[in-house]
């Protein structure tokens, strides 16, 4: 199985769960050092681990990764598109590289990797794809407008291809964590936000376990945590301007 963003956070915890169930691993992230540490920790669980240090936000990175995996003779039976990042701040002031980087990693790489690995799964009539979205994908997100929009794409795209591949032997699961205690919030610059400071974040271990179960059960859409599920459902019935205003309030810093 191949997992992107496996060097830390939710991706690492997912990789550990797959390793415990004896899945051989292909781990991808930018940091080669961190990947090497993670790989040796997971090899101790008795599985084979290959690592690829690649920046998936770079153009053509997905194709390069696919070609390297092919030429190593590795088969990908499960693809987990987990790597992603967010950036906090008003859109008008956001540096272009952060805007393009989020779209490239959260949308383009995820879509390209799905397109590259799916046909062989369909030919084998067996496989699983897990796309990590977010509860952010269920409503607009002022102050993180691009990030929320990228995750809305992931939900829509994943549900659509889950439908296209029904009865094919391949399952597509869109997994939506809420606030989770990882390096994500610090990188995004929203670790002082109400959602992380006042509402509390789930542990990466707990979130990964929810995701692991969802992908192994072949669920199409899974939201981690009861509270996150209730919030995601409530956005379907409330007026959109109210939902957007609450979303902004939740993202604002506490001080």
Ligand X SMILES: NC(=O)c1ccc[n+]([C@@H]2O[C@H](COP(=O)([O-])OP(=O)(O)OC[C@H]3O[C@@H](n4cnc5c(N)ncnc54)[C@H](OP(=O)(O)O)[C@@H]3O)[C@@H](O)[C@H]2O)c1
Judged by CB under 6 A, does residue 129 bind ligand X?
no
- Three state DSSP letters for the chain: CEEECCCCHHHHHHHHHHHHCCCCEEEEECCHHHHHHHHHHHHCCCCCEEEEECCCCCCCHHHHHHHHHHHCCCCCCEEEECCCCCCCCCHHHCCHHHHHHHHHHHHHHHHHHHHHHHHHHHHHCCEEEEEECCHHHHCCCCCCHHHHHHHHHHHHHHHHHHHHCCCCCEEEEEEECCCEECCHHHHHCCCCEHHHHCCCCEEHHHHHHHHHHHHHHCCCEEECCHHHHHHHHHCCCCCHHHHHHHHHHHHCECC
Judged by CB under 6 A, does residue 193 bind ligand X?
no
Min dist. Cβ of residue 143 to ligand X (A): 15
Min dist. Cβ of residue 253 to ligand X (A): 16
Nearer to ligand X, 168 or 206 (CB): 206
Q: State the Cα angle at 211 between 226 and 172, rounded to 5°.
A: 115
Judged by CB under 6 A, does residue 51 bind ligand X?
no
Say whether 212 is catalytic: no
Judged by CB under 6 A, does residue 179 bind ligand X?
yes
Judged by CB under 6 A, does residue 177 bind ligand X?
yes
Residue in 34, 50, 219, 248 binding ligand X, rule: CB under 6 A = 34
Judged by CB under 6 A, the stretch of 118-126, 138-146, 159-167, 180-188 that binds ligand X is 180-188
Nearer to ligand X, 98 or 126 (CB): 98
Judged by CB under 6 A, the stretch of 40-48, 116-124, 184-192, 237-245 that binds ligand X is 184-192
Min dist. Cβ of residue 205 to ligand X (A): 11
Residue in 55, 77, 159, 191 binding ligand X, rule: CB under 6 A = 55
How many residues form the binding site for ligand X (CB under 6 A)?
30
Nearer to ligand X, 29 or 169 (CB): 29
Question: Which of the residues 147, 148, 153, 212 is marked catalytic?
Answer: 147
Q: Active-site residues: which are they?
A: 147
């Amino acid at each position: 199985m191949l997992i992107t963003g496996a060097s830390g956070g939710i991706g690492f915890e997912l990789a550990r769960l797959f390793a415990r169930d004896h899945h051989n691993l292909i781990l991808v992230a930018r940091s080669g050092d961190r990947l090497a540490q993670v790989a040796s920790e997971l090899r101790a669980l008795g599985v084979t681990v290959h690592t690829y240090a690649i920046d998936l936000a770079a153009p053509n990175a997905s194709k390069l990764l696919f070609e390297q995996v092919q030429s190593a003779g590795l088969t990908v039976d499960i693809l987990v598109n987990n790597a992603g990042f967010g950036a906090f701040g008003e859109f008008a002031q956001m540096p272009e590289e952060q805007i393009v980087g989020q779209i490239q990693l959260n949308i383009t790489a995820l879509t390209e990797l799905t397109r590259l690995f799916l046909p062989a799964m369909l030919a084998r009539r067996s496989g699983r794809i897990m796309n990590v979205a977010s509860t952010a994908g269920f409503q607009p997100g002022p102050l993180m407008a691009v990030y929320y929009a990228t995750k809305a794409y992931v939900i829509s795209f994943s549900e659509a291809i889950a439908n296209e591949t029904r009865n094919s032997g391949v399952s597509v699961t869109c997994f939506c964590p809420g606030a989770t205690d990882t390096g994500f919030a610090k990188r995004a610059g929203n670790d002082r936000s109400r959602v992380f400071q006042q509402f509390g974040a789930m542990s990466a271990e707990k979130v990964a376990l929810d995701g692991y179960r969802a992908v192994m059960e072949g669920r199409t859409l899974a939201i981690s945590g009861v509270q996150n599920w209730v919030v995601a459902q409530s956005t379907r019935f409330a007026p959109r301007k109210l939902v957007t205003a609450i979303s902004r309030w939740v993202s604002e810093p506490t001080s």
